[in-house]
Amino acid sequence: MNIQEYIDSGVLELYAAGGLTPAESAEVDQMAAQHPQVRLALEECLRAMEAYALTHAKAPRPELEDHIIRQMEAVTAPRPETAHPQGRVLPFDSPVAGPTNLQPANRWWQMAAAVLLVLSVGANVFLYSTLQNTRSALALARQDSRQYALQVHQLEQRNLQSENLLGVLRNPNTLAVPLKGVEQHPGAQATVFWNQETKEVYFDASGLPQAPTGRQYQLWALAKGKPVDAGLVKPADSTLQRMKTVAEAQAFAVTLEPEGGSVNPTLEQMYVMGTSPGR
Amino acid sequence: MAQLRAQDQKAITLLYRNYSAALYGVILRIVKQEEVAEDVLQESFVKIWSAFSTYDEQKGRLFTWMLNIARNLAIDKIRSKQYRVSSRTQPMENTVTRHLESSEGIRPDHIGVQEMTEQLNPDQKVIIDLMYFNGFTQSEVAEELNIPLGTVKTRARMALKFLSKLIK
């Protein structure tokens, strides 16, 4: 059987949908490993099934979160470098995601809201369209599938972003720099995740008090005693956000600045600070 | 060490927040009872996390890998219960009807998305669903629906082609 026939046979689709026995699946794995063409076609099938799985998404009860997270923390996952002595490096940034801004992780509720919105709009339009001729009904169907495609696309994007973030956190080159609250703000804290190789910086602002309206937090890298702007902290971002890359820093600090940021830090408004063991 | 732990904690939270709804939806669809689904969700995350370092991105995408773990645990769950026996011995009409029922209605918060996938041809959808959510193999599907194996393959292929087109 030639490769194209193999791809067209439907076996890859069965694999993706989970309809093969383990032995049959192993055969597909082997084919995919040998033939890039098969691998590509298989990936497309897997993505399609991922998208299909996503359409069934349903947020579990919020009470479960703490419980399950604690269970996970109880398991210490061996870190990548111990499992792979030669130091396998997770991809820090895939070109697909690029320098897009990082979005908060917990968007399922927003997604649900968006779905409902799309639905209610769709429903209204649908009622109206029953008065219209077949042509407009056809146009509508097309729009529906575009909306669906858009939604799945957004989910895909988010998926990629979280894979990237996980890559950042699990990367052995990533240095976590804890920032502690200064005297005036003992309760505040934050963490900088700084990749020593690519120099990229991610920031976890979840321990900072909410910035008053009209003000914004700004991250500074202190290099040889000089503060260098490392980017503005976006409000309402509950997970890691990507900051400017920092080539050199002995310490990081966060100040509260007027919205839009400042050229130089307002030192009286410093909230947290931490020295970096890195370069 | 404390630093590594901080990073792990962050990674765990990220994993949970970003994937719990996706995994829970699939698990619930398979096991059908919320209580059981919650248990399986927990088992899945613990397993995912403890196997996290063995995940190899060269071999496939993270989401697919996680879905597989969750699906396998959920399917093991329904296989361990006697209702699988009864469902397998029932005539095809029953299973298909129950199957169609289960894909509609129960969960009001995502009927919307489901409606969108209703565009998927029902003959094709039933095949994907039996495999993905009931853990049937291709030959079991053929037997269940009383159609030739070739037809199962063709319909599965058409269904996925359709879904692929929607993502593009």
Residues in a beta bridge with A256: A217
pLDDT tier, A9 (very low <50, low <70, confident <90, very high otherwise): very high
pTM, two decimal places: 0.60
Quick one: tokens of B29? 């669809």
Q: What is the mean pLDDT of residues A246-257?
A: 93
Three-state DSSP at A173 gives: coil
Residues B66 and B141 in one domain: no
Please list every residue in chain B whose beta carbon sits closer than 8 Å to the beta carbon of residue A76. 8
- What pLDDT is stored for residue A129 in this prediction? 53
Residues B48 and B109 in one domain: no
User: What gap in Å lies between CA A143 and CA A148, rounded to an integer?
Assistant: 9
Three-state DSSP at A83 gives: helix
Q: What is the mean pLDDT of residues B97-122?
A: 50
Q: Which of A68, A76, A204 sits opposite B42 (nearest CB)?
A: A68
**pLDDT beyond 90 at B141:** yes
User: What gap in Å lies between CA A239 and CA A232, rounded to an integer?
Assistant: 15
Q: Which of B15, B53, B157 sits opposite A79 (nearest CB)?
A: B53
Residues in a beta bridge with A227: A222
Q: At A212, which amino acid appears?
A: P
More confident residue, A251 or B56: A251
| DSSP H/E element including A1 | none
For the ranges A93-107, A113-127, A254-268, which has the lowest average pLDDT?
A93-107
pLDDT tier, A245 (very low <50, low <70, confident <90, very high otherwise): very high
First-to-last alpha carbon distance for chain B, in angstroms, is 43
**pLDDT beyond 60 at A71:** yes
The burial of A131, by beta-carbon neighbours within 10 Å (0-12 exposed, 13-18 middle, 19 or more buried), is given as: exposed
Q: What is the mean pLDDT of residues A11-35?
A: 94
Average pLDDT, chain A: 79
Residues B98 and B77 in one domain: no
Question: Which residues, 6 or more positions from A42, have their beta carbon under 8 angstroms from its beta carbon?
Answer: A12, A15, A16, A28, A32
Contact yes or no for A231/A218 (Cβ under 8 A): yes
For the ranges A30-39, A257-266, B104-113, which has the lowest average pLDDT?
B104-113
> Of the candidates A165, A148, A184, A175, which has an alpha carbon nearest to the alpha carbon of residue A51?
A148
- What pLDDT is stored for residue B111 in this prediction? 39
B57 occurs within a structural domain = yes
> Of the candidates B106, B87, B85, B97, which has an alpha carbon nearest to the alpha carbon of residue B28?
B106
User: What gap in Å lies between CA B24 and CA B37, rounded to an integer?
Assistant: 7
CA A212 to chain centre: 27
> Domain span at residue B165?
91-168
Residues in a beta bridge with A189: A180
- What pLDDT is stored for residue A97 in this prediction? 40
Residues B121 and B75 in one domain: no
Query: Within a 10 A sphere around the Cβ of A152, how many other Cβ atoms?
Result: 23
More confident residue, A94 or A244: A244
| DSSP H/E element including A257 | strand A251-258
Nearest residue of B to residue A192 by CA position? B7
Query: Within a 10 A sphere around the Cβ of B93, how many other Cβ atoms?
Result: 8
* Subunit contact B160:A16, Cβ cutoff 8 A: yes
Domain end position, chosen among B81, B108, B133: B81
Share of chain A above pLDDT 70, in %: 70
Residues B76 and B23 in one domain: yes
**pLDDT beyond 70 at A236:** no
More confident residue, B94 or B28: B28
pLDDT tier, A30 (very low <50, low <70, confident <90, very high otherwise): very high
Looking up residue B168, the CATH number of its domain turns out to be 1.10.10.10
Region of B9 on the Ramachandran plot (φ > 0 left; ψ -120 to 50 alpha; else beta): alpha
Looking at the complex, report in whole angstroms how far the Cα of residue A274 sits from the nearest Cα belonging to chain B: 13
HSE-CB at B20 with a 13 A cutoff on CA atoms is: 29
**Does B36 reach chain A within 8 Å, measured CB to CB?**
no
Return the CATH class of domain A174-275.
mainly beta
**pLDDT beyond 50 at A263:** yes
- What pLDDT is stored for residue A88 in this prediction? 43
Q: What is the mean pLDDT of residues B111-131?
A: 76
Map tokens 């030639």 to a residue.
A2
Question: Which residues, 6 or more positions from B20, have their beta carbon under 8 angstroms from its beta carbon?
Answer: A59, A60, A64, A65, A68, A108, B41, B45
Three-state DSSP at A152 gives: helix
Phi, psi for residue A205 in degrees, rounded to 5 = -100, 10
Please list every residue in chain A whose beta carbon sits closer than 8 Å to the beta carbon of residue B41. 60, 64, 68
- What pLDDT is stored for residue A91 in this prediction? 45
User: What gap in Å lies between CA B17 and CA B30, rounded to an integer?
Assistant: 21
**Does B109 reach chain A within 8 Å, measured CB to CB?**
yes
Average pLDDT, chain B: 79
**Does B19 reach chain A within 8 Å, measured CB to CB?**
yes
Three-state DSSP at A132 gives: coil
Quick one: tokens of B43? 């088992």
Query: Within a 10 A sphere around the Cβ of B36, how many other Cβ atoms?
Result: 17
- What pLDDT is stored for residue A171 in this prediction? 82
Residues B77 and B117 in one domain: no
For chain B, how many structural domains are there in total? 2
Please list every residue in chain A whose beta carbon sits closer than 8 Å to the beta carbon of residue B107. 58
- What pLDDT is stored for residue B90 in this prediction? 45
Q: Which of A17, A52, A166 sits opposite B15 (nearest CB)?
A: A166
Q: What is the mean pLDDT of residues A149-172?
A: 72
Q: Which of A115, A141, A204 sits opposite B10 (nearest CB)?
A: A204
Residues B96 and B38 in one domain: no
* Subunit contact A13:B112, Cβ cutoff 8 A: no
Nearest residue of A to residue B116 by CA position? A148
Residues B75 and B118 in one domain: no
Q: What is the mean pLDDT of residues B108-114?
A: 42
Residues B13 and B61 in one domain: yes
Domain end position, chosen among B57, B81, B105: B81
Residues B118 and B168 in one domain: yes
pLDDT tier, A104 (very low <50, low <70, confident <90, very high otherwise): low
- What pLDDT is stored for residue B71 in this prediction? 96
* Subunit contact A19:B138, Cβ cutoff 8 A: yes
Over the stretch B41-89, which tens digit does the pLDDT of each residue have? 999 999 999 888 788 777 788 889 999 999 999 999 998 865 455 555 4
B86 occurs within a structural domain = no
Contact yes or no for A48/B164 (Cβ under 8 A): yes
For residue A124, the 8-state DSSP code is H
Q: What is the mean pLDDT of residues A3-12?
A: 93
Looking at the complex, report in whole angstroms how far the Cα of residue B138 sits from the nearest Cα belonging to chain A: 5
More confident residue, B137 or A240: B137
* Subunit contact A50:B29, Cβ cutoff 8 A: no
Looking up residue B67, the CATH number of its domain turns out to be 1.10.1740.10
Map tokens 């407009």 to a residue.
A136
> Of the candidates A153, A116, A59, which has an alpha carbon nearest to the alpha carbon of residue B163?
A153
* Subunit contact B153:A10, Cβ cutoff 8 A: yes
Looking at the complex, report in whole angstroms how far the Cα of residue B84 sits from the nearest Cα belonging to chain A: 17
Residues B63 and B101 in one domain: no
**pLDDT beyond 60 at A130:** no
Please list every residue in chain A whose beta carbon sits closer than 8 Å to the beta carbon of residue B119. 141, 144-145, 148
Residues B42 and B74 in one domain: yes
**pLDDT beyond 80 at A128:** no
Over the stretch B16-33, which tens digit does the pLDDT of each residue have? 988 899 999 999 999 999
